[in-house]
Amino acid sequence: MNELLRRSAADLAGLIADGEVSAAEVTDAHLDRIAETDGEIHAFLHVDADGARAAAAAADERRAAGEARGPLDGVPLALKDVLAQEGVPTTAGSKILQGWIPPYSATVTRRLVDAGLVILGKTNMDEFAMGSSTENSGYGPTRNPWDVERIPGGSGGGSAAALAAYQAPLAIGTDTGGSIRQPGAVTGTVGVKPTYGGTSRYGLIALASSLDTPGPCTRTVLDAALLHTVIGGHDPRDATSIDAPVPDVVGAARNGDVAGMKVGVVRELGGEGYAPGVEAMFAKTVALLEKLGAEVVEVSCPNFEYALAAYYLILPAEASSNLARFDAMRYGLRVGDDGTRSAEEVMSLTREAGFGDEVKRRIILGTYALSAGYYDAYYGSAQKVRTLIKNDFDAAFGAADVLISPTAPTTAFRIGERIDDPLAMYINDLCTIPANLAGIAAASFPVGVSADDGLPVGFQVMAPAMADDRLYRVGAALERELAGEWGLAKLGEGAK
């Protein structure tokens, strides 16, 4: 394997800036790696080799002219297919959008391009980000580089797998209920869900508008902080965007000092249903934080037990409305337009043909939850639970600077194992959902492999809204301590 592939994004940026390697070489190395491995991994839905080479060449020209655009100029990145990129096919993993080419770019995409990043292509995902395994993609599943019989998590399995397979040093994900963190956990990579409103949703194909948050997916904590800084910050095109500077996440990632930090173990996120190997690794990590000077306390968030239920009402309700625009009239798939059928019939036939099972299941569920006579019992009640969960967080953050838990109850499961059991699939999101409901910041950091099966385990850290920097302090501290037994080199062994 080309040694460039193992380097962090920060390192690559440094090598490019110093002229030791060109952005073109770095990009070619990654494109070659994709060509070699993606037949098996299927992390990408679309590889934009020409666009990437052109962007790399432009970065090299800028460097030659002394006009480099910041700390990640020329570094390649994989973009989740849920973000619009002008002129590049964007499908959100759905057949209903096959062949659609956006005439505009998402704010996140634009900021990446403006910062000089080289977008290699669009990564696979569960259709419209509905899923925890990437098996719901309309274009076939992505495989986990650690064990290709297993899922890479979801919905951002493509982005996580691309990192774990060394196809890209950086990726973008979106997290609605854990879609950045859970894939990070099961592929041994870093995934950060910024504070809701800390990264723009403009141009992100909406799943659940009040939950969706774009964020960085990387192999190192510093890389995540650098990428977070590029994509974060106020966007006037998104009315829910926070008008405040991005917290100093890069400083926190370089600091990594947890001495004196109060770390709260959430009592309700553990115990029954958690794999022994996951629990053991979590306990070991908590002990490590204590050793590093953190003060570990236990906190209780009693309403978290209702989080999953609230989430699986709020998400389908918002999604049923958000996905109404896929109607065969203005773009995307059109089925059954034989000159005799009405617009209504063509809409219904197209949506039947273009949406996969999970998408239909959630649209129907959401339609039900919002319909007359059921709104108060379902959607309305779920919004109240949301209040209770926010209150739980407020109380917990009164007692601790950050909260911690496993990221997911188990390691990567086998492809096909849970696909016919929606509830079993939804359990994956148990630990990650509360942060989305409350809009706070959360991240998953790799901390080792499970004794049960040798597969990666993630460690979740949660911080109050706009205190994203705390996540990075904890992540950096763990990374520094664990780099010997766990880290970049180890990660590579799993990848074929």
Partner 1 sequence: MSDSIMDGSIMDGSIMDYADALERFDPVLGLEVHVELSTASKMFCGCSTEFGADPNTQTCPVCLALPGGMPVINGAAVESAIRIGLALNCEIAEWSRMSRKNYFYPDMPKNYQISQYDEPIAHDGHVDVEVDGEVIRIGIERAHMEEDTGKSLHVGGATGRIHGASHSLLDYNRAGVPLIEIVTKPIEGTGARAPQVARAYVQLVRDLMRALKVSHARMEQGNVRCDANVSLRPIGQIEFGTRTETKNVNSLRSVERAVAYEISRQAQVLAGGGMITQETRHWQEGSGITTPGRSKETAEDYRYFPEPDLVPIAPDRDWVESLRATLPEPPAERLKRLAGEWGFSELELRDVVAAGAVDVIEQTVAAGSAPQPARKWWLSELARRANEAGVELEELAITPQQVAQVQALVEAKTINDKLARQVIDGVLAGEGDPEQVVEARGLAVVSDDSALGDAVDRAIEANPDVAEKIRGGKVAAAGALIGAVMKEMKGQADAGRVRELIIERLG
Partner 2 sequence: MAQTSPETRLSADDVARLGRLARIELSPDELDRLAPQLEVILDSVARVQEVAVADIAPTSHPLPLRNVFRADEVAPSLDAEAALAGAPAVEDDRFRVPRILGEEQ
Q: Looking only at residues 334 through 353 of this chain, which bind partner 1 when binding is defined by CB under 8 A?
A: 339, 343-344, 347
CA distance 405 to 460: 5
Minimum CB separation of residue 316 from partner 2 in Å reads 9
Q: Tell me the window of 219-227, 253-261, 317-325, 415-423 that interacts with partner 1 (CB under 8 A).
A: 317-325
Residue 36, CB-side half-sphere exposure with 13 Å CA sphere: 14
CA distance 207 to 286: 34
Minimum CB separation of residue 176 from partner 2 in Å reads 12
Catalytic-role residue among 8, 133, 155, 159: 155
Does the protein bind partner 1 through residue 387 (CB under 8 A)?
Answer: no
Task: Give how far the C-alpha of residue 125 lies from the chain's centroid of Cα atoms, to the nearest Å.
Answer: 10
Q: Which has the closest alpha carbon to 56: 75, 71, 69? A: 75
Q: Tell me the window of 273-281, 314-322, 387-395, 437-445 that interacts with partner 1 (CB under 8 A).
A: 314-322
How, if at all, do strands 402-406 and 118-123 pair? unpaired
Q: Tell me the window of 8-16, 71-79, 82-90, 392-400 that interacts with partner 1 (CB under 8 A).
A: 82-90
Given strand 118-123, what is the order of strands in its sheet?
44-47, 118-123, 76-80, 170-175, 213-218, 190-193, 441-449, 456-463, 402-406, 262-266, 295-299
Does the protein bind partner 2 through residue 310 (CB under 8 A)?
Answer: yes
Minimum CB separation of residue 298 from partner 1 in Å reads 34
Q: Tell me the window of 115-123, 178-186, 352-360, 402-410 that interacts with partner 2 (CB under 8 A).
A: 352-360
219-258 binders of partner 2 (CB under 8 A): 236, 239-240, 242
SS3 of 219-266: the string is CCHHHHHHHHHHHECCCCCCCCCCCCCCCCHHHHHHHCCCCCCEEEEE
Does the protein bind partner 1 through residue 317 (CB under 8 A)?
Answer: yes
Q: Which does 266 bind (CB under 5 to 8 A by kind): partner 2, partner 1, none?
A: none
CA distance 361 to 355: 10
Minimum CB separation of residue 131 from partner 1 in Å reads 18
222-281 binders of partner 1 (CB under 8 A): 236-240
Residue 24's H or E segment, with its range, is helix 23-41
Q: Is 236 exposed, middle or buried (0-12, 13-18, 19+ CB in 10 A)?
A: exposed
Q: Which of 53, 100, 148, 295 binds partner 2 (CB under 8 A)?
A: 100
Q: Tell me the window of 22-30, 260-268, 277-285, 436-444 that interacts with partner 2 (CB under 8 A).
A: 436-444
CA distance 77 to 167: 9
Q: Which does 483 bind (CB under 5 to 8 A by kind): partner 2, partner 1, none?
A: none
Report DSSP state, residue 416. Answer: T
Residue number, 67 or 387, with CB nearest to partner 2: 387
Q: Tell me which residue has tokens 């899922």.
A: 151
Amino acid at 53: R
92-131 binders of partner 1 (CB under 8 A): 92, 97, 100, 102-104, 106
What number of chain residues touch partner 2 (CB under 8 A)?
74
Tokens read off for 305: 């037990």
The question of whether 179 is a catalytic residue gets the answer yes
The question of whether 284 is a catalytic residue gets the answer no
Minimum CB separation of residue 84 from partner 1 in Å reads 5
How, if at all, do strands 76-80 and 170-175 pair? parallel
The question of whether 155 is a catalytic residue gets the answer yes
Cα Rg for the chain, rounded, in angstroms? 21
Does the protein bind partner 2 through residue 46 (CB under 8 A)?
Answer: no
| 3-state secondary structure at position 52 | helix
Strands, E, within 15-60: which ranges? 44-47
Minimum CB separation of residue 32 from partner 2 in Å reads 32
358-377 binders of partner 2 (CB under 8 A): 360-361, 363-365, 367-368, 371, 373-374, 376-377
Amino acid at 10: A
Residue number, 326 or 459, with CB nearest to partner 1: 326
Catalytically active residues, by annotation: 80, 155, 179
